[in-house]
Structure 1
Amino acid sequence: MAPLLWHSVGTISILLQEIISVYHSLHSPIPTLTDRVSNRVSDALVLFQCVAANPSTKMPFIEAKLPLYLYPLLNNTKKERPHQFIRLASLSVIGALAKVDDPNVINFLLESEVFPCCIRSMEVGDVLSKTVATYIVYKILINEEGLRYCCTVAERFFALVRVLGSMVLKLAEEGQLAKIPFIRLLKHIILCYHRLSESPRSCDGLRCCLPVILSDAAFIDIIRLGDPSAVHTCNSYFTMSATEPLEYKR
């Protein structure tokens, strides 16, 4: 389907017009984005996701700079349901690009400043949007250039650590940790912490900013019930964050 969408005359242009049509609603002081319009734009984004996920159309999609048209949707701070639908659909397109570990894709995402868009979505999105945004950040971090991008600028590093910690504390405060969607989010958060701990540059900062609850026995039991594999990742993170700074300082 993706090659047909990409090569059929005018189709991508029509989908793009549908997406751009909601820009005016993003900053309007009066709620103007209806469920109907939101669903229509989300449908267009689902087709974009199809193109972004296909190996034969992924790079042409990137080379045409089409993901840039989604960034205004991701920088939107409104939390009403129609906006959340569009946010999630937009993140799913970026997630489809990042799913395969392709350095060319990661370089494009870094150069086009998708990182702040993900941070914003982690701050204001619903649990599904937070999960996809955190997944994208993790896929960026497992690339060496992506890890370097995050850890070489203190402001960027602490923005990420702050929002990761904020999500953990909010999950704990709301008593949502035992529910499946929230466990998925928590797993991606832990994976991000673990990857950050592999950078000697970031270990001291992590040790200062780590939410105490992550080392709580009851908290670990909840993770074990939801996703046993995440417990190993969490334990590995604590081991690395405790030892790496000493090696770095020698």
Structure 2
Amino acid sequence: MSAPNMDCEQRSDIERVYGWIANLCNKETRFWAMLELCERRSHIDSLGLLLWHSFGAVSGLLQEIVSIYPAIYQDIELTGQHSHRICTAIGLIQAMASHPFIGIQLIRCQFMCYLMPLLKMTSQTRTVEHVRLSVLGVICGLLKSDHPEIVAYFLGTELIPLILRQLELGTTMSKVLCAFVLYRTLEHEVGLKFASRRLSRRLHLIHTLARVVHQLTLEPEPRVLKHVVRIYSRLADHPQSLELILKLLPAQIRNGYFCQEGLAGFESASLELADLNRKLVTKHEKKDKANDDTMPEKH
């Protein structure tokens, strides 16, 4: 194919993309435009930037998000078509959230306040689950940027309680994403301090983890187990959380129940579980020694 023809095709592709973005402003044309853009988002360079800087595009996506609120607050059943439409809109929001610059802008303009209510839906139907996974995908994308401001923002929302509920009661894929979100949050010092600051928070978190471990003995899921082990290890870095873990750590974590060779999805299970137990023993011994050193001598 000659160079002029290639240039013409590229210009034509670019014009189509711009046309679809412009159609996001119109409710009548928005769904098909979202489908076209979502289908090609991995092939469109800087789609997130284009959406963010295009007049009316973000507003159009926001209208789609708000349209699901009656299903949340009035207990209206979510149809498959409505779920598909919302998930497509969220998919384009994820394209923006995955961009380092746009992701932090979404946080600063409080855009996530419109997505967080979608995690409050308790139904486990397929239509609701698709929406829930889409929202969790946006949150995972934001946390992958490793920006402390993003973590601090989520700590000021209801995210952690909502994540813990889904970690215990959700579907397998919800649990995988929720475990990742929790681990990424605790990786940051501000997240660890937040989770460990109050006794009620520590108890809620550690009791939930224990129940999840029990579920994993009945229905093994290595991807969830991997993050749970790493969450325990991270919590052990905080003295007050360490104290509770030493008291409430499930026996299955201590006794090597999950130490299988070549556990698909968590191949390093044996190594990481052994490291966790060594870490707990070491910190416990240091804690006891520190207590002994501070005790007054008897004469």
* Distance in 1, Cα, partners of 2:204 & 2:257: 28
Equivalent pair of 1:77/1:124 in contact (CA under 8 Å): no
* Distance in 1, Cα, partners of 2:147 & 2:190: 12
Q: Comparing both chains, which one has the higher relative contact order based on Cα–Cα distances under 8 Å and sequence gaps of 6 or more?
A: 1
What is the match of residue 87 of structure 1?
A: 132
Q: TM-score of the superposition, structure 1-length normalised?
A: 0.90
Equivalent in 186, 211, 223 of residue 250 of structure 2: 211
Equivalent pair of 2:236/2:245 in contact (CA under 8 Å): yes
Q: TM-score of the superposition, structure 2-length normalised?
A: 0.76
* Distance in 1, Cα, partners of 2:125 & 2:263: 33
What is the match of residue 66 of structure 1?
A: 111
* Distance in 1, Cα, partners of 2:270 & 2:139: 28
What is the match of residue 166 of structure 1?
A: 211
Equivalent in 224, 240, 265 of residue 201 of structure 1: 240
**Pair member with larger Rg:** 2
Equivalent pair of 2:143/2:181 in contact (CA under 8 Å): yes
Q: How high is the sequence identity, in percent, across the aligned residues? A: 31
Equivalent in 132, 141, 150 of residue 186 of structure 2: 141
Cα 1:225–1:112 shift into 2, 3 Å: closer
What is the Cα deviation at residue 147 of structure 1? 0.5
Alignment of 1:111 with 2:150, yes or no, is no
Structure 1 runs, 4 residues or longer, greater than 6 Å off: none
What is the Cα deviation at residue 123 of structure 1? 2.8
DSSP 3-state at the match of 2:268:
helix
Equivalent pair of 1:200/1:245 in contact (CA under 8 Å): no
Q: Residue type of the partner of 1:165?
A: A
* Distance in 2, Cα, partners of 1:204 & 1:80: 39
Cα 1:25–1:5 shift into 2, 3 Å: same
What is the match of residue 20 of structure 1?
A: 66
* Distance in 2, Cα, partners of 1:89 & 1:67: 13
What is the aligned-residue RMSD (CA, Å)?
Answer: 1.8
* Distance in 1, Cα, partners of 2:262 & 2:204: 25
Equivalent in 270, 285, 290 of residue 231 of structure 1: 270
Cα 1:114–1:218 shift into 2, 3 Å: closer
